[in-house]
Amino acid sequence: MINIKCQAILFDLDGTLVDSTVCVERHWQEWANKHSLDAKEILKISHGRPTIDTIQLVAPHLDAETEAEALDKSQAKNLSGVVAVPGAIALLTSLPQNKWAIVTSGNRQIATNRLLHVGIPIPECLITTNDVEQYKPHPEGYLKAARHLSVAPDKCVVIEDAPVGLQAASAAGMKAIAVTTTYSISDLSMADVCISGLENISVKPPISEEPANWIELETQILDCK
């Protein structure tokens, strides 16, 4: 067990707070079949990336903007298989609204619909692909969330499940906790701390809503180095 202090926690969404694996893989499989592509190869690189980036990588011959728009609309509407990650709701409800944010590689409609579907509260600060010009692994999203919460980047902790998100956190100058819900420990070595799930994080009260006050987290860690 170790203690980590911060003034804000910035969460990734898919794979970190929401388990959308079944839903996402089903949509990519259908899309791959339609275009005679290998879904397994797509899924190796798609997690943590915006849909349009993945399509540009795997099918540069297609109109990525049109394809991504259609695929994202379907994912926002068809939510079968989307569930909250164990420990997510308990952790979030233990934090004041101005102490946490979500930074996702999905668009606002997908993010909002998934949060509502699993019963996770919509945060005051929700940064999606609609809000940034540069996507993860670029740090823009995490830096924008820190500014919104009026917290310096080095006083933020990011919780992520994907290498591209950890790269974004590192580029933003933030500490990162990796959860091994999607990738193996060996893929998450750039994180400061690795945990097996959010149920291994507890918040030590009391927490004031004053921006300058600290949050103390107690985490049961794995060795990711």
Q: How many CB atoms lie within 10 A of CB 195?
A: 21
**Per-residue pLDDT tens digits for 100-123:** 999 999 999 999 999 999 999 999
Of 77, 94, 110, the domain-final residue: 77
Euclidean distance between CA atoms 144 and 124, whole angstroms: 13
132 and 51 assigned to the same domain: no
Nearest to 215 by CA among 63, 7, 1, 56: 7
Whether 211 has a pLDDT exceeding 80, the answer reads no
Distances in Å between the alpha carbon of 148 and those of 27, 125, 136, 145? 33, 7, 18, 5
Query: Domain range holding 64?
Result: 21-77
The reply to whether 15 and 115 lie within a common domain is: yes
CATH number (domain holding residue 207): 3.40.50.1000
Based on the fold, state whether residues 130 and 178 are members of the same structural domain. Answer: yes
Q: What is the CATH number of the domain that holds 69?
A: 1.10.150
- What is the pTM assigned to this prediction? 0.90
Are residues 46 and 125 located together in one domain of the fold? Answer: no
Q: Which amino acid is at 132?
A: V
Query: Which positions are catalytic?
Result: 12, 14
CA-based R_g, the chain, Å: 17
- Number of domains observed in the structure of the chain: 2
pLDDT of residue 51: 94
Q: Is 127 helix (H, G, I), strand (E, B) or coil?
A: strand
> In the structure, what pLDDT confidence band is assigned to residue 224 with cuts at 50, 70 and 90?
low
pLDDT class of 129 with cuts at 50, 70, 90: very high
Whether residue 144 sits in one domain with residue 60: no
